[in-house]
Structure formats: C-alpha cells, structure tokens
C-alpha cells in the first residue's frame, strides 16, 4: 500500500472545517479512488480554543501558520487563510520553496501573485492547485484545462460572484412582484442572511469577480495572470428603475466577467450587463455561479453550480488533493502557444457594443430633439425608445437602446446630453451583451 498523502491545513474557518469534515467522512471513498489514504497531520488557525464542532485531537497544532511550510510530516500545504499578502502569501511561497505541493482557495493571492507562484511550483516540481479559487463547487479549472483541451477557446464569461447575483436576482424578483426594492435595501437583507459581508465592497464593487476572471483568463489563454489588466465596475449604480426597464425590454441585468481574445490582446472586463432573458446564463439566479466557454469544437458550454459555502468549496479543495494523491501533477497554468495574445488593459472607450441609456428629463416639448442632436453628432444610432405616459413639467424617465457604437462616442454623447437643461440627473448607462 502506498504511503498516505499527508496534509497540513492553514485556516480553520468555514472552508477549512469543511475540508476536514469531507476528508474524514469520505476517507474510504477517497482511498478507493486514489489508491492511498489522505491524512491531515497538522493545522493552524488564529483561535486555538474556539469550538469548531469537530474533534481536533491528534493533529499537530501550530500557532504560526508559516511553520506549516517546513512541517516534516506534511507533503501538501492547504492555504485557506485568505488575502493577497501577509500570512497567506508568506506561507504559500515558503511551502513551495520547501518542496511541498500547495493547494489554495485564495483568488486574491492568485490574481496578484499567480504568475510568481506558478513559476515557483514549476521550479520545485510541485503541484499548485486552485480549483476552489474560482466559482466554488464548479470544477471549472479542470473543465477548461483538461476537458476542453482540444478546443481553441475564443472567449469565456460568467457570473463569478454569488453576492452580486443574489442582489440582482432579488431586485429583479421584487420589481416583477410589483414591490420594487432598491439596491441598498437588498444589500442590507443579504448581509442579514449571511450572503454579504459586513464590508461588502470587494463583492459589490466587482473586485472579487475580477480576481476570478484574471485566473480564468490565464487558464483559458495560457497568458500570465494580470489583475491590473482587468476593467472593473460594480453594481452600486443599478437601480430598480433600470431593472424594470430591462424586464420590459426582454433583458436581465447581471454582473459578468468577460474575457475575449482579440487579434493582438486578451481583453478582460467586469461590469453589469443586460443580456437577453432567453440566454441560458440569464436564468442562473440566487447565489449560484456560472461560466460559459466558447470553443471552436464544443461551441458554447455552460457550467453552473454553487459558488461558495463549506461543502462546495471543500469539494473543490479535495479535488486538487485527489490529483496530487493520484500522481497527477501538472503545470499550474497551460503554456501559451506561439503567438498567443497577452492580457492588455484595453481602454473601455475602444469597446464596441450596444447600450442601454436612462435619462431623467423634464417632460416638455423639444426634449427629444435636443437628445437626438447629441446622439447624431457622435453618430450613435438609436434602436428603441421607451417613455411611459405623459406628465408635462414633471421629471420622467426616458430610456434609449442603441445599435452598436464605440463607447467613447457614447460617453461623449452622454456628456453633452447631461448638460442639457431638461436633463435633471447624470445619464445612466449599462452595456448590452449579445450572447
């Protein structure tokens, strides 16, 4: 019988305890699938005395997580501390330097330091596993890196943050029910339900999704992880009014991460999108995540599942441990083929697409003529217009959708429209994506 694979776990929060529970509960099954047992030999966490609902006797407890990197009995270090710097980075770099395999659920760490960690793993002949860092329980890294290895991938996009998807879903449902709720109200409820952090900015400002997109981009295109090349916008500005008009126009509003290979660069962007309600990803609701890959042989493939939580994330961590136990040690990121485009911080003003525009205007004669002139001057063509009822002299919403236009022209037109006397609020814009 081969020697057991021995694990040291840093971080005993929700995910760390989930990994311990899974390894214990499914020990026999995992041994059957790998041909060897997987044993936890050491752990580290900030609070030794906290009740975690499970027995920790027999495990070597280290108060300093960095000590796990040189633990004499451990073959693998599982980093579940979180954060792109500090203890998580120090432990990860030290573990690889000591010739230990590294498994992490830390998307921020990989988004900022993935290229360096991948190179350190290559030099050490170690496995760097990060299935749990992207989309929780969806085995998307293995699907893209292995299952779709025969495809030339032209693009990947998805719902990469469950908190934002929950908020957008709740706002959509409230508008449909006639009890329209605004962003702040739904966010507070999400915090009470445990779906959003006390400080939700990393989620609702798009940063978490951008971390994951940077990793996916490297997996798909074989280019270095480059978080700085991701355009990032959040969902704070999306209102119930926008959700209502989206429904009327046949769209859903989702925060999406999108990466596409162009002729000279890979572009990466995270922002709210309007997508046709008939698109498969439009029906992914609540805290679920989803990723769509577009390949030259598979066409369009959607992967959907829970994006967070003890069980799903632990499942992804253990998937990497199973690879290591089975001897499947591979490069962290696929090697780039010759001529592969690299990430580039392409300015969004060069983006070409369709747009949803909402204006709050005083209802009086001549308003449309002024707006139309501003759009005409920038050669932005209107596809449709919505204005419900008449309320002379009062402020009413006016919604336009455009044909494809360059974003720089749309932004200039909106700047001119915002300076018109009848326009009472800054114009709102949401990009429309055709999937």
Residues 159 and 383: their CA atoms lie apart, in Å, by 27
107 assigned to active site: no
Residues 282 and 343: their CA atoms lie apart, in Å, by 27
Contact 295, 152 (CB under 8 A): yes
Contact 303, 219 (CB under 8 A): no
Q: CB-based burial of residue 70 (10 Å sphere; 0-12 exposed, 13-18 middle, 19+ buried)? A: middle
Phi-psi region of 225 (alpha: psi -120 to 50; beta: other; left: phi over 0): beta
Q: Which of the residues 100, 212, 254, 346 is marked catalytic?
A: 212
Q: CB-based burial of residue 249 (10 Å sphere; 0-12 exposed, 13-18 middle, 19+ buried)? A: middle
Place of tokens 């700085």: 228
Phi, psi of 92 (to 5 degrees): -65, -45
Residues 172 and 163: their CA atoms lie apart, in Å, by 14
Calculate the CA 106 to chain-centre distance: 12
State the sign of the Cα–Cα–Cα–Cα dihedral 380, 383, 386, 391. Answer: positive
Phi, psi of 263 (to 5 degrees): -65, -35
Write b or e for each residue in 13-45: b if 16 or more Cβ atoms lie within 10 A of its Cβ, otherwise e.
Answer: ebbbbbbbbbbeeeeeebbeebebbbbbbbbbb
- Report which of 262, 410, 409, 415 is spatially closest to residue 345, judged by C-alpha positions: 262
Residues 376 and 178: their CA atoms lie apart, in Å, by 36
Residues 385 and 361: their CA atoms lie apart, in Å, by 14
Catalytic residues: 212
């Amino acid at each position: 019988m081969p020697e057991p694979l021995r694990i040291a776990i840093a971080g005993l929060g929700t995910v760390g305890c989930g990994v311990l529970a899974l390894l214990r509960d499914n020990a026999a099954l995992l041994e059957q699938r790998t041909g060897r047992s997987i044993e936890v030999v050491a752990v580290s966490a900030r609070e030794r005395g906290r009740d975690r609902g499970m027995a920790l006797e027999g495990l070597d407890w280290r108060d300093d997580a960095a000590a796990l990197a040189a633990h004499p009995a451990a073959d693998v270090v599982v980093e579940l501390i979180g954060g792109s710097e500090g203890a998580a980075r120090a432990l990860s770099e030290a573990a690889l330097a000591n010739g230990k395999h590294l498994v992490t659920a830390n998307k921020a760490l990989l988004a900022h330091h993935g290229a360096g960690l991948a190179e350190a793993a290559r030099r050490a002949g170690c496995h760097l596993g990060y299935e749990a860092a992207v989309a929780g329980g969806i085995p998307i890294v293995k699907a893209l890196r292995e299952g779709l290895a025969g495809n030339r991938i032209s693009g990947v996009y998805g719902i990469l943050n469950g908190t934002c998807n929950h908020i957008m879903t709740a706002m959509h449902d409230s508008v449909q029910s006639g009890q329209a709720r605004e962003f702040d109200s739904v966010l507070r409820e999400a915090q009470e339900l445990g779906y959003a952090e006390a400080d939700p900015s990393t989620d609702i400002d798009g940063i978490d999704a951008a971390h994951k997109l940077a990793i996916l981009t490297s997996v798909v295109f074989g280019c270095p992880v480059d978080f700085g090349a991701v355009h990032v916008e959040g969902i704070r500005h999306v209102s119930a009014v926008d959700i209502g008009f989206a429904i009327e126009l046949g769209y859903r509003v989702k925060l999406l991460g999108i990466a596409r290979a162009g002729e000279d660069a890979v572009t990466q962007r995270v922002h709210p999108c309007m997508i046709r309600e008939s698109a498969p990803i439009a029906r992914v609701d609540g805290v679920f995540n989803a990723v769509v890959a577009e390949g030259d042989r598979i066409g369009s493939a959607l992967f959907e599942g829970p994006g967070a939580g003890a069980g799903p994330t632990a499942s992804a961590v253990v998937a990497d441990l199973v690879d290591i136990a089975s001897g499947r040690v591979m490069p962290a990121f696929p090697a780039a083929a010759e001529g592969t485009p690299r990430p580039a911080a392409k300015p969004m003003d060069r983006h070409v697409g369709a747009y949803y525009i909402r204006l709050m205007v005083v209802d009086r004669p001549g308003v449309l003529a002024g707006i139309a002139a501003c759009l005409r001057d920038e050669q932005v063509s209107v596809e449709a217009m919505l204005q419900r009822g008449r309320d002379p002299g009062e402020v009413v919403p006016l919604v336009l959708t455009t044909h494809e236009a360059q974003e720089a022209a749309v932004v200039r037109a909106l700047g001119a429209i915002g300076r018109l006397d009848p326009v009472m609020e800054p114009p709102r814009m949401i990009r429309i994506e055709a999937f």
